């Protein structure tokens, strides 16, 4: 989703802003812009539709400027274009603003401000909702307010969630940042005689690891020496920066052609890191430390509900399966964007587990609010981002330890979520006494083998590449699975859609003959997930039915399964795994198939069109 950067200090702001935006490219965007203010008051605003290289090419002469803000936009209101790109200025040209989020009441605010604009012979310069913000600030300034007060007053008029960076043309020594609601993060970085601002950590890492995460309701006045925080209900304060231990090397692509491929190959490490110290065998325990929800609470709940969106929803579906199988408690999953607008009857005795790699997905945060406001049920979040909004809303967090994920398509955080959910299922089972020590030890021992299962799956990359090349021209795929392989079929289809732009549907194989089978012919390949689990025979009959319609079949089954191999057009053998661990065995192959299909089609794998890494708008 949109990205924000800011700088104030002794260096030239333009190149720093541009480099920061490049580091946020992974979030997805369709246009970009920067505004730089020189110490002598000269201002340059440059905006371009398209990629950052277009913006870079357009920078011929920029003031050397010691202050500035920048933005990558992902269009919501108004098409992607130069004029709709941020920064936006007030009609006076004095107040410069970039925004992440949506001003939900922008229509009424525009109507209100229009009279003043018309009286001055001015009109709106863009089709965006954001443009009302500099205009509101300018109006407050004209009433004699300080900039931070004017910003606060303007924000109080906005409905929706917004993260804002701004400055005033008359003051080249300060930039301002504000955060209201869940419109993504805003992080202030502390340098030596210079300060940085970004909506996401990777943009700050080359400069500093001393940071302050702006909280909901806070406004920061930032100069080259530090930040002063204002909020309506507390005295002003200078926050203590916190040191983050993120390795800048971890966000570099290294020898890999794409971040997505790098992140697929990082999965064994991401899994070991996520499991480390949390799966103990002697005596058996899971997530014993660091957990803020008591065993008494885990014993008192009658049901577990796992929610998420996209890939995280697929992880939630698998989590539901494990919680039922391992902990023996009723469990269900739900799509956060539907859940939050229903009147779900969950009751206070439901444990709600939200899965969100970013911790900032607006629908998942909305669902968490819904649970808190309506039911007050205990909540856990599984996330990859410490300090994210979801961690503030939940009673307890289980942090994956995957490191930053740059590719827009979630890969390592999918397996990170799975490891966390598996551990949680074990912990719930132990707390409730439904899982004895021996069974717990056995389940954890299995989990400890997951990194090596994934490692072996990665060795199949060349075979996936070869098969993918035979299907470069295919525009449809059906992906079938049963049991725990059904959510994986959905995840495989999602990966194909988002990075390969081919239409793919993930289906429970038993559902195929109730409709989708009508689609099948020689041009409609089917990917069948068919390891030797309890439903293997049923998968075999589904495959027979597919083959009878002459649709080509790519089967992913257990290594050495000659019976399956003999029945299908292409066969990929993954290391055999127990029923519980099947997702770890299959995931690398489904990701690699989608990756290689996209590669063969020559697509922009790390930044697929129309997609954003963190979905902070509805
Ligand atoms: C797919 C993908 C998205 C996210 C979804 C939820 O590869 O990345 O479907 O899974 O937007 O995001 P989080 O997990 O951040 O809540």
Q: Which atom of ligand 1 is nearest to the CA of 390?
A: 16
Mutate to test the pocket of ligand 1, among 315, 361, 406, 413 (most ligand atoms within 8 A of CB): 361
pLDDT score for 1: 65
Q: Cα–Cα distance between 426 and 341 in angstroms, integer?
A: 31
The C-alpha angle with vertex 436 and arms to 296 and 267, in degrees rounded to 5, equals: 90
Name the least confident of 3-17, 62-76, 83-97, 135-149: 62-76
Structural contact between residues 272 and 451, judged by C-beta atoms closer than 8 angstroms: yes
Tens digits of residue pLDDT in 382-411? 999 888 889 999 999 999 999 889 888 999
Please list the residues that pair with 558 across neighbouring strands. Answer: 574
* Contact (CB, 8 A) for 414 and 311: yes
Distance 395 CA to ligand 1 centre (A): 22
The gap between the terminal CA atoms of the chain, to the nearest Å, is 11
Q: Which two tokens stand for residue 29?
A: 């965007």
What is the separation of C-alpha 559 from the centre of its chain, rounded to a whole number of angstroms? 33
pLDDT digits (tens, 9 = 90+) for 29-53: 889 999 999 988 889 999 999 988 8
Share of the chain above pLDDT 70, in %: 98
Return the domain boundaries, the chain. 3-249, 258-448, 456-609
**Confidence bin at 308 (pLDDT 50/70/90):** very high
Asked if CATH classification 3.40.50.10490 holds for the domain at 258-448, the reply, yes or no, is yes
Contact 360, 381 (CB under 8 A): no
For the question of residue 2 being annotated catalytic, the response is yes
Rounded Cα gap, residues 269 and 525, in angstroms: 33
CB 320 within 8 A of CB 345: no
Q: Does the pTM of the predicted model rise above 0.85?
A: no
Q: Tell me how far the alpha carbon of residue 50 lies from the centroid of ligand 1, in angstroms.
A: 23
| CB 368, CB 379: distance < 8 Å | yes
Distance CA 278, CA 287 (A): 5
> What 3-state class would DSSP assign to 565?
helix
pLDDT digits (tens, 9 = 90+) for 554-610: 999 999 999 999 999 999 999 999 999 999 999 999 999 999 999 999 988 888 888
| Residue to mutate (ligand 1; options 74, 311, 413; most atoms within 8 A of CB) | 311
* Domain 456-609 in the same topology as domain 3-249: no
Question: How many whole angstroms separate alpha carbon 209 and alpha carbon 202?
Answer: 10
3-state helix, strand, coil in the chain (%, to 5): 40, 20, 40
Neighbouring-strand partners of residue 97: 88, 166
Q: Calculate Rg over the CA atoms of the chain.
A: 26
Question: According to CATH, what is the number of the domain 3-249?
Answer: 3.60.20.10
**Directed axis angle between helix 437-448 and helix 450-458, to 10°?**
30
Please tell me if the CB atom of residue 383 comes closer than 6 angstroms to any atom of ligand 1. no
Q: Is the pLDDT of residue 104 over 80?
A: yes
Superfamily name and number for 456-609:
Glucose-6-phosphate isomerase like protein; domain 1 (3.40.50.10490)
Average pLDDT, the chain: 92
């Amino acid at each position: 989703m949109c990205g924000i950067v800011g700088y104030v200090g002794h260096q030239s702001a333009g190149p720093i802003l541009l480099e920061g935006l490049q580091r946020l490219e992974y979030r997805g965007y369709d246009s970009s812009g920067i505004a730089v203010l020189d110490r002598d008051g000269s201002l340059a605003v440059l905006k371009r539709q398209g990629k950052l290289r277009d913006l870079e090419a357009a920078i011929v002469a920029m003031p050397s400027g010691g202050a500035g803000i920048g933005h990558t936009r992902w269009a919501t209101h108004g098409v992607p274009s130069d004029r709709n790109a941020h920064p936006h200025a007030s009609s006076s040209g004095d107040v410069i603003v970039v925004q992440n989020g949506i001003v939900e009441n922008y229509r009424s605010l525009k109507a209100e401000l229009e009279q003043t604009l018309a009286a001055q012979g001015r009109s709106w310069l863009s089709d965006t909702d954001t443009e009302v913000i500099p205009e509101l600030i300018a109006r407050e300034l004209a009433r004699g307010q300080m900039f931070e007060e004017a910003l606060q007053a303007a924000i109080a008029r906005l409905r929706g969630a917004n993260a804002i960076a701004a400055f005033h043309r008359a003051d080249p020594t300060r930039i301002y940042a504000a955060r209201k609601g869940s419109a993504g993060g805003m992080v202030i970085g502390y340098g030596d005689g210079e300060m940085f601002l970004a909506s996401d950590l990777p943009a700050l890492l080359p400069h500093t690891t001393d940071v302050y995460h702006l909280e909901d309701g806070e406004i920061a006045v930032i100069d080259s020496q530090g930040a002063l925080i204002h909020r309506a209900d507390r005295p002003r304060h200078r926050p203590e920066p916190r040191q983050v231990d993120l390795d800048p090397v971890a966000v570099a692509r290294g020898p890999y052609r794409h971040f997505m491929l790098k992140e697929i190959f990082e999965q064994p490490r991401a899994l070991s890191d996520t499991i480390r110290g949390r799966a103990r065998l002697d005596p058996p325990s899971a997530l014993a430390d660091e957990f803020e929800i008591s065993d008494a609470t885990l014993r008192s709940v009658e049901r577990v509900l796992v929610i998420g969106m996209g890939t995280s929803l697929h992880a939630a579906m698998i989590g539901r399966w494990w919680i039922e199988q391992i902990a023996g408690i009723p469990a269900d999953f739900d799509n956060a964007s539907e859940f939050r607008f229903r009147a779900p009857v969950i009751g206070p005795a439901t444990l709600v587990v939200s899965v969100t790699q970013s911790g900032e997905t607006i629908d998942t945060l909305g669902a968490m609010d819904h649970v808190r406001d309506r039911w007050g049920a205990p909540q856990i979040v599984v996330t990859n981002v410490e300090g994210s909004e979801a961690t503030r809303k939940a009673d307890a967090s289980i942090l994956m330890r995957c490191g930053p994920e740059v590719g827009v398509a979630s890969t390592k955080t999918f397996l990170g979520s799975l490891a966390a959910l598996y551990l949680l299922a074990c912990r719930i089972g132990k707390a409730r006494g439904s899982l004895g020590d021996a069974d717990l030890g056995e389940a954890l021992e299995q989990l400890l083998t997951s990194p090596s299962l994934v490692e072996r799956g990665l060795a199949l990359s060349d075979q996936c590449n070869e098969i993918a090349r035979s299907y470069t021209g295919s525009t449809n795929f059906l992906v079938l699975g049963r049991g725990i392989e059904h959510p994986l079929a959905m995840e495989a289809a999602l990966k194909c859609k988002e990075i390969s732009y081919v239409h793919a549907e993930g289906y429970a194989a038993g559902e195929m003959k109730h409709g989708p089978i009508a689609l099948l012919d020689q041009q409609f390949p089917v990917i069948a997930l068919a390891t030797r689990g309890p439903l293997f025979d049923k998968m075999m009959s589904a495959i027979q039915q597919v083959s009878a319609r002459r649709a080509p079949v790519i089967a992913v089954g257990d290594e050495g399964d000659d019976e399956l191999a003999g029945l299908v057009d292409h066969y990929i053998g993954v290391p055999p795994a127990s029923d519980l661990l099947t997702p770890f065995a299959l995931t690398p192959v489904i990701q690699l198939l989608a990756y290689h299909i996209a590669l063969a089609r020559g697509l922009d794998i790390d930044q697929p069109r129309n997609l954003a890494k963190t979905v902070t708008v509805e």
